[in-house]
Amino acid sequence: MAGIASNFSATKFKRELSVVLRQVPAEFVFVTQPVQLVRPNVGTIVPTPPANSSQYVGFSGTSFGTPNYVPIKNLGTFEVEFYFYGHKQLTVDWAKGNLNGNQNALDTTALDRRTIFLHQWQVLGIQENICSTVSNTSCSFQNLDIFSSTYAFPIYQCPQNSYQTGSFCTACPVSTTAISGSKSLTACFKCNSNGTSPTSGIYQYLSCDGKSCLKCPPDTLSSDGALGLSDCTPIPVITFWLNGPIGPTYTADNATVQGLGRPYHRPFNRSRFQEMLTLVANISYDRITFIGDAQETSEYPESRCAYLRGACMFQVSVMFYASSTELLKNSVARVTGKECKKYDRVNCVYPDVNGTAQFWRSRWMYEFQVVKIFTQTRQSKAAGTCPDSWILGSVLLEHVDLFKSSFLPVTYSCPNKYYQSSSGLCKACPDMTTSDQGSTDISYCIPYNSFILTAKDPSLTYDSRTRVAVGGQSDAQPNALTINHNPVYYIIRGYSLHPYQVASPSTPALGNQISYCQNRLNCFNESAFRVNLSSVLQGRVAANEIRLVKATFCNTSDIYQQVLCGPWPGVAPYNKQCVCTNVSNSTVCYETKGNLQLSVYIGKTANVHSPFQSNVKTASDCAGVLHNAEYSNFSANAFLYNPNTLSCWPRVVDLKTGNIRSDLFCLSSSQTCREVVVQLADDKLLDSEMLRGTQMYWKNDTGACRMNSSIVLEDTSLCDLRSNQNSNPLDIQYYIFTLHADNASNLREAERILSSTAGNENQIKEQFFTNYAVLQLLRAKDKVLVNGSSAERSLITAENYDPNLPYLIESTAVCNASGVIVGATCISTSSPSKSSGYAVCVYNASLQKIVQTCPVGYIASCKGGLTPECLSQNVSDDRQSSAVFLPFHSYAKFSFKSNVHFDLCQQKACAFLPAEVLLTRLDIGWTSAADVAYEIVLLVFSDGSSHKLNLTRPGSIFTYYIHPVVTQSVAIQTPTAQYDLFVFWMEPFGQQFSETTQNLEMAVVDILQKDYMAKGANFSCPPTTYQSEKFCNMCAFPQVNFGPLGQECVCPACGDGAVQWQATEQCDDHNRINNDGCSSECTIEVSQVCQGPKNPDTLVGIPMESYYQKDQCNRPGAFWTNFGAAPYKPRFGLTATFHRGSTWIIG
C-alpha cells in the first residue's frame, strides 16, 4: 500500500477487509505489524483530499491540468500480512473467493466492495501465499490481478505516485510524483530544487494544476519533488549575539604608544565562524548565507567597549539554504538544541544521528562567546487556492535557552562582564560593572568604583611664579629663545603645565607642551601613570584599563584656574577644606567647599559702605579682614575671595538654616551659576561678572577644621612672614581614576592591593607613592548599582536633564512654512541683503521667555514675513523629547541642572541650578534632509573640549558612548554635515559629578599602616606635609616641612638649607653669609649661578629634593669672560650668560 506505516490503523483495516470478505467477521481477521518498504521524507503530511468529494485520496486525476487534479506527496510504501479463518472450510473458501474475485457470480456486490477497498487503501498489489501441501512445506506468493475487469470496476488504475508493472503497482521514487493510472517509470517525474543561496540555483514546486514547476517565494525552500506551494518552507533567520567588539581595537585610546596591556580581543573571523557552524548544523559550507555583515547592536554598541564602560555585542545573522526541507529543519534543530539522540520517527523528529551536535555546539559557543541566539521565522503559507497564492505572515520570534540541560553537556558559562539571565541568555552587566565567567545573577556584577589620589605637585609651584599680583613673572613659562634665528626650547625648573596647552603662547605653531615633557618635570604623563599603577596592581588591571577623569577647567583662559591643572587630572573638590587666621592670639577658621565653589546662598554684605577690600593676597588674610571693626561690628561670618583680583567681600549668612549645603554649590566660572546666586542674594551690590572666579568661605568650628579628615589650606596665624609676597601655592592635585578590570576577580584583587598591605612583596608600590608624592588615597562607592541599574544612568531619570524644560536647550531659531522648516537668518538692520549666520534661541537671564539672539546690528528674520520660532518639544516620538533643527554650520546646546530640590525662593530660576555631570553616553535619534546613512557632528563641552561623533542609523534611536568628560553642557555642532539635520531625541547618560567627589561612603585608605608600601618599610610623607593617622596632611600655608623624614610643620626661614618660595627665597645654602653666592637674605648674588639637586646622568633638576637639599652656588667668572646679564632671576626660570656669541642656559 502507499503511505506511511506509522499511520496504518489495523482496526480500521480489519473492519473494511471483513466487508470485502463478507463471510468472516473482523475479529477473525489477523494483521501483522506493517513494514515500511520505501521511507517517506521526514515531515510529510497526509495527502490533501481532492477537490471533488466523489474522488478518492490519491486518485484525483489521470492527467495533469484537469480541474480535479490535486498533487499529493509521495509517502512511500509499506506492506502488511494478514490471515483469517472461519468456523468451517466453506466459509473460508467463500471469503477467499470474494477477495480474489472468484465469487462474482454468487456474490453480485463483491466487485463493488473490492473496488472501494482498493481505492480507500491505495493498494499497490495483493499477493496470496499458496502452499501445495497441507503441511505448508512448499509455499509461494502469487500476485492477484487487481487490474482485471472482473476484479474491480471501473478497471483499477494505480494511484498517484506509482505506475503499473504487470499485475501490481510499483511506487515512484519518493522524490517524484506521477498521475493516477501511470503505466511506466518514465511517468514519475519531479520539480528539481538545487538552491544553495538566494541567488544561486532555484527551489521549485509543482503548480496546483500540475502543468509546470514554479519557483518558491523568496526566502523559502523546498525538497526535490515538492508538490504544491505548501511544500515551500520559510527559511528562519538565525541571529547570534556575540561578545564584542567585532574588530581588534578594544579601547578608544591606548595607554602607551605600544598599546600596553589588556584587554586583547580576537577580531571576528567570519570564515572560521562559518566553518564551525557547518559542524554544528551538519550542513555544507556553501549552504550558509550571511545576512549582511556583522553589525554592532544598538543597546551595546562598539563604543561601549572602546570606552571601557562594559561589554559590547555584535550580531551575526544567517540563513540555511539546505538541499531539502528535512535537512533545513534538522540543521536549525541542531543549532537551537532541539535535536534528539534516538532515531525514532514517533518521538524524535530531528535525530542527532552521529551524536555530535552537543559537542560541536559547545566548542563553537565558547570559541565565539555566544551570548544570545534567536530565530525569526516568517509565518507565511499557501492560500490553498488555484492559481497558487502566497500569504505573507507575521514573524515568529523564538529565543533559545542557552542554559537548558540538553543544550550543552555542561551548563553554559557566560563570558566575563555578563551574567545568566532567567530568560535563557547572557545579559551584559550594567555600565561600569564587571563579572567573572559563569556569573549566574546580576548581584555578581561588581562596580568600577572611583579612587581619588591626593598628591603634591612635584614641581615648584606655578602659582607663586606667574601671578604678577603676588610678585611672580607673567612670562615665566617654557618658551623659545632665538639663537642664530633657530628656536631653542628650555625648561623652567619644575614647571607643571597642562600637556595640551601651547608651549609658547606667542608662537602657537611651535606646538603643545606635551611635545616637550621630559622626566615628568614639565607635565603629567598619563601613559606613564597608567603603566606605573598597573605595575603596582601586579598586572591585575592593565595600563589600558586604568581610566582617569580629566579636569573640567583646563582649557580656560583664567590664569588662576590654569594653576590647578598642573597634572591635568586637576583639583577636584573633596571633603572639608579650611583657612585659618589669628584673632586676638587665637585661631579662627573658615570652611570652604573647594576651588571656585560658590554657594547659591551668600547672604548679605557686612558693610554696605565698604562692601569689599582689595589687595588681599591670601584667603586667610581675607579671614583676618572680617575681624576688623568695620566688619565684625556687623557680625561678618563669611566671605567671598577672588584670587585673581585679590578681592575680599565680607558677608553675613545665616548658618543655622541649612542653606549652606554641600549639594547647593556651583562653579563661579559658570554664568548661569552666578546669575542664580545674584538672584538669591539678600542685597544687589554684586553683579554676575564680579562673582567670576570667586570662592566662598564661612566660619566653622576651629577644632572641626583641624580634624584629620580635613585639609587646612592656609593659616597665617602660625608664621610671621611680613616679607612674603607669595600666596598659598596650592600645590596639591587630585587624580580620580577607575580600574576597569577585565573580570571581577582581577578587580577585587586590584582593590585589595590598593586598600591593604597586599602587593607589598617588592618596592614597586612604595616607588609609585613616592614618585607621585601621594598624600592620601580615597575609595568612593559611587558606581554601586542602583536598583539593578548602573549609577551612570539616564540623566533624564536622574533629573539632571529635562527635555521638557526649553530653557535647558539652546538651538537654532527656525522658520516654519507649512511644515517645511529652515533656519532663521540674522539679517543686518542697516542692509537687509547682508546676513550673519543663523539666529539662536536662548532663554533670557530670568529664564522666563525665549529670545532669538543675533550679533549686534542684526535681527532674526524669515522669508515671507514669517515669525522666527523656537522648537522645544518633539511630538513625533512617543517619549516626549527635545526636538532641534540643525541647519548646516549651526548647533544645539543642552545644559545640565542639579538634581537637588531646594526652596530658597519661589522664582522659576530656582529650578535650574547648573551642575557638572560625568557624561559618558548619548542616545540620539536623528533624520536628515536627504537620505544619507550617516552624518559627522561635533560634540562640544563646557570646558572647551570636543568629541567627533559619527551619527548612524537615521530614523532610529541609537546609543553612542563617548570619552567620559565632566561638563555642564553638551553642544551638537554640524561643521561638516552635508545636509540639515533634525534631532528628534537626545538622552544623555552619566552621573552628577558630586556623587563621586562628595561620595557619602568615601573611605580613607590607611597608607601609613605598617607594611602597606613594602615589608618592613614605613612611608615617608612628602615635603611640606605631615603624618596624620591614615594619610599625609598638608602643612597649612605658609608652614613647611623639611622632609622626607620631618614630622612637624615649621615656619620657613632663610638659612635653613631649603629653598622655600613661601619665604620668597631665591636660594638657600644653609647659612646667612654674604659673598658666598647666596646672600644673607637668601638672594642670588651678582654673577652667581645657583643650582638645586639634579640627576647626575641626565643633569635634569629634581625639584622635589629642593625642598630639603641646599643649593650649590658658584661664580662662573673663573672660566667665563665677557659676562652678560641674566634676563630672569635664576629661581624663576633660568640664568643665561653670554660669551663670544655662545649662550649657556642653566634651568
Residue 329 has pLDDT above 90, yes or no: yes
d(CA 471, CA 463): 10
d(CA 591, CA 695): 11
Question: Which range among 512-516, 725-729, 835-839 shows the weakest confidence by mean pLDDT?
Answer: 512-516
Q: Which helix (H) or strand (E) holds 646?
A: none
Q: Which three cell numbers stand for residue 930?
A: 536627504
d(CA 364, CA 368): 6
Mean pLDDT of 1075-1080: 78
CB 635 within 8 A of CB 524: no
Cell 625639584 found at = 1103
d(CA 364, CA 354): 17
For 509, phi then psi, to 5°, come to: -65, -15
From the list 1094, 1102, 1069, the residue with the least C-alpha distance to 1084 is 1069
Mean pLDDT of 930-946: 85
Q: Which three cell numbers stand for residue 537?
A: 596592581
From the list 493, 483, 486, 489, the residue with the least C-alpha distance to 502 is 489
Predicted local distance difference test score (pLDDT) of residue 284: 93
Predicted local distance difference test score (pLDDT) of residue 443: 95
Predicted local distance difference test score (pLDDT) of residue 1015: 79
Cell 575671595 found at = 641
Mean pLDDT of 891-895: 88
518 band by pLDDT with thresholds 50, 70 and 90? very low
Mean pLDDT of 516-525: 43
Predicted local distance difference test score (pLDDT) of residue 882: 54
d(CA 883, CA 841): 13
Predicted local distance difference test score (pLDDT) of residue 583: 85
For 986, phi then psi, to 5°, come to: -145, 110
Predicted local distance difference test score (pLDDT) of residue 525: 64
Residues with Cβ within 8 Å of 1040's Cβ and at least 6 positions away in sequence, in order, are 1023, 1024, 1049, 1050, 1051, 1052, 1058, 1060, 1062, 1107
Residues with Cβ within 8 Å of 431's Cβ and at least 6 positions away in sequence, in order, are 304, 309, 310, 790, 792, 920, 921, 989
Q: Which tens digit of pLDDT belongs to each residue from 576-606? A: 678 888 888 888 889 888 777 888 889 999 9
3-state secondary structure 246-285: CCCCCCCCCCCCCCCCCCCCCCCCHHHHHHHHHHHHCCCH
d(CA 417, CA 2): 58
d(CA 602, CA 181): 105
From the list 166, 434, 465, 424, the residue with the least C-alpha distance to 304 is 434
For 910, phi then psi, to 5°, come to: -65, -20
Predicted local distance difference test score (pLDDT) of residue 486: 38
For 1114, phi then psi, to 5°, come to: -150, 160
Which of the listed ranges 42-46, 120-124, 1002-1006, 1023-1027 does the model predict with the highest average pLDDT?
A: 120-124
Q: How many CA atoms lie within 13 A of 469 on its CB side?
A: 16
675 band by pLDDT with thresholds 50, 70 and 90? confident
d(CA 232, CA 830): 74
CB 251 within 8 A of CB 306: yes
- Is there a cis peptide before residue 1038, judged by omega within 30 degrees of 0? yes
d(CA 377, CA 972): 40
Query: Could you write out the DSSP letters of every residue in 410-445?
Result: S---PPTTEEE-TTSSEEEPPTTEE--TT--SGGG-
Q: Which three cell numbers stand for residue 251?
A: 579601547
919 band by pLDDT with thresholds 50, 70 and 90? very high
Predicted local distance difference test score (pLDDT) of residue 471: 34
Strand, helix or coil for residue 501: coil
Sign, CA dihedral 468-472-478-481, equals positive
Predicted local distance difference test score (pLDDT) of residue 875: 35
Neighbours of 463 (CB within 10 A): 23
Predicted local distance difference test score (pLDDT) of residue 600: 86
Which of the listed ranges 507-521, 788-802, 974-988 does the model predict with the highest average pLDDT?
A: 788-802
Pairing outcome for strands 711-715 and 577-583: parallel
From the list 257, 451, 278, 434, the residue with the least C-alpha distance to 356 is 278
786-800 as b/e: b if 16+ CB within 10 A: eeeebbbbbbbebeb
d(CA 653, CA 699): 10
Q: Which tens digit of pLDDT belongs to each residue from 344-378? A: 555 777 888 778 899 999 999 999 999 999 999 99
Q: How many CA atoms lie within 13 A of 1084 on its CB side?
A: 22
d(CA 767, CA 350): 65
d(CA 583, CA 161): 114
3-state secondary structure 917-965: EEEEEEEEEEEECCCCCCEEEEEEECCCCEEEEEECCCCCEEEEEEEEE
Strand, helix or coil for residue 672: helix
Radius of gyration of the chain (CA): 44
Q: Which three cell numbers stand for residue 131?
A: 502452499
Strand, helix or coil for residue 475: coil
1108 band by pLDDT with thresholds 50, 70 and 90? low
For 1137, phi then psi, to 5°, come to: -120, 150
CB 329 within 8 A of CB 350: yes
Predicted TM-score of the model (pTM): 0.76
